[in-house]
Structure 1
Amino acid sequence: MSAHRRPAKLLASPKNRIDLRLTDEARFIRSWLENPLLAGAITPSGRFLARAMAQCVDPASTGPIVELGPGTGPVTQALLARGIAQERLVLVEFEPTFCHLLAQKFPHAKIVRGDAYRLADTLAGSLDAPPAAVVSSLPLLTKPEASRLALLRQAFDLMGPDGRFIQFTYGVKSPVPAHLAASQHFKTQSLAPIWLNLPPARIFIYRHADCPHAVETRPDMIDKLLRQSRRFGREIRDELQEARSRLAPKEAGSPLGEKSLIDPKSRRF
């Protein structure tokens, strides 16, 4: 095997995937410690939340897919798995470290460093067509309601009439209150909570009032996520049982096994 292929094989191994995930989480936690209001969450979006957000994007749509606040890229990766070509992705990130990481992970996507809340200015000259969707992981609840509504207006000024603004939140209610969205002729759609995410999250989708197509989540996708969750739970339980069996004391000899760790005469360990 040629030398330039070995790293790709190493990255594909389960151990290296875990190492990369832990490294991404470490970067995210450091970013959160440096600026909690900017990062919003202490860890990246979980795999179930990322997949659910990607399911809200239609791969058959035309135009770029703009992602706001991609961080270390879990939602970006889910969009690719959904069938979105990397060349269609426009990733808007403020943190320089994350921009560098995203450029390494997704070399064919367009990385734009800038303020997502000034979306029109940030994306000036970066779009070759109206976006089909805007997928946001921004911590909207850290901003005033007026700023959230202004972001929504900017996004829909850029998108076509069938565009979708997809936002997740750890809150119970819509991060852009429904009455404010309605005042700008936007519909608000709430999806079922993602209980498998830690903490549980909810996805809200905003569309033009005259856009007739609601976003449907496929039951088979939800069932698949639940099956995966149960499988992971079984694997964890099996590993714990195996660990207990290795650590359990043997019946023969002392209560701690054939050879006690304590010498009763010297009382030494």
Structure 2
Amino acid sequence: MTEYTDAAPAPLSESWLFFRRWLADPRAMGSIAPSSPALRRRITREIRREADEVVVEFGGGTGPITKAMLEAGIPADRLYSFEIDQDLARHLRARCPDVTVIVDDCRKAPGLLGETLCGKVGTVVIGIPMITFPLEFQREVLDATFRILRPGGRFLLYSFMPHSPLNREALGLSGERLGFTLRNLPPASVWGYWRG
């Protein structure tokens, strides 16, 4: 597990960094621009967390959702963000220095967070464009998600598709669209999913 604690170099423009990473790997980024304020509000409105629980983000990117969660009142020491891309993670760490940024694969989350946090995660926010990845990868991400979530918990996933980005039947999920905004590039939906 890598955590960034070193000082970051002069930050690139968030939009330019995001676009540059999109050019390098469009499938992994899913969008050509960071999440808009309207989408951030839709996501943070749906986060559930008890006082003794944390929130975990898979795919922190350049940090707009991370920053919005802090502004919505989630304490920095109760927020963990996984970002596998080192350039994005460095930017995220500079933007949100008090958040624990874990530079590793989110599928390793149960082992990296440890026994004390597994089962103590109120909400997982998935910013990975899951629809672009094969079903087996999706299963692995969801297995990690449900191993860290509190019993009966749900995760949030934002997507640019007009329908569910996950095959609920194949993945054994229930879920619903919680919100939609045209004020994002492209327009986006927020979905909530739970087991069963």
Partners of 1:127 and 1:50 in 2: how far apart? 29
How far 1:120 moved relative to its partner? 3.4
Aligned counterpart in structure 2 of residue 62 of structure 1, from 52, 64, 87: 52
The residue number in structure 1 matching 2:74 is 84
Match of 1:206 among 185, 193, 196: 193
Instruction: Specify whether residues 152 and 146 from structure 1 end up closer, same or farther in structure 2 by C-alpha distance, changes over 3 A only.
Output: same
Q: Secondary structure at the match of 1:94?
A: coil
| Structure-1 separation of matches of 2:33 and 2:52 | 32
What is the CA distance between 1:42 and its match in structure 2?
1.2
1:194 to 152, 156, 181: 181
* Counterpart-to-counterpart distance in 1, 2:174 and 2:193: 5
The AA in structure 2 aligned to 1:84 is I
Q: What corresponds to 1:53 in structure 2?
A: 43
State the percentage of identical aligned residues.
28
Q: Deviation at 1:127?
A: 5.8
Partner of 1:149: 139
2:158–2:188 CA contact under 8 A, matched in 1: yes
CA contact (8 A) 1:61 1:132 kept: no
Q: Cα offset for 1:110?
A: 0.7
1:97 to 1:141, Cα distance in 2 relative to 1, 3 A: same
Structure 1 SS opposite 2:150: coil
Q: Name the structure 2 match of 1:36.
A: 26
Give matches, 1:1-269, under 5 Å: 23-121=13-111, 123-125=112-114, 128=117, 130-181=120-171, 183=172, 186-209=173-196
Rounded to whole Å, the distance in 2 between the matches of 1:145 and 1:174 is 14
Q: In the superposition, relative to structure 1, how do residues 202 and 36 fare at CA in structure 2: closer, same or farther (>3 Å)?
A: same
Where structure 2 has 5 or more consecutive residues not aligned to the other structure, the ranges are: 1-10
Shift of 1:187: 2.1
2:157 match: secondary structure: strand
The 1:117–1:173 alpha-carbon spacing in structure 2 relative to 1, beyond 3 Å, is farther
User: Partners of 1:165 and 1:176 in 2: how far apart?
Assistant: 12
1:111-151 per-residue CA deviation (whole Å, 9 max, x = no partner) reads 10011244435x35496452111101101111012321331
SS of the residue 1:164 aligns to: strand
Q: Give the unaligned 5+ runs of structure 1.
A: 1-19, 210-269
Query: Does the 8 A contact of 2:33 with 2:185 survive in 1?
Result: no
TM-score (norm 2): 0.85
SS in 2 for 1:157: helix
Distance (Å, rounded) in 2 between the aligned partners of 1:105 and 1:38 = 21
Contact conserved, 2:109 with 2:148, CA < 8 A, in 1? no
After superposition, the C-alpha distances for 1:200-251 in whole angstroms (9 at most, x for unaligned) are 1111111244xxxxxxxxxxxxxxxxxxxxxxxxxxxxxxxxxxxxxxxxxx
RMSD: 2.1
The answer (yes or no) to whether the contact 1:132–1:162 under 8 Å persists in 2 is no
Letter in 2 for 1:207: W
| Number of equivalenced pairs | 185
Distance in 2 of aligned mates of 1:31 and 1:192 = 27
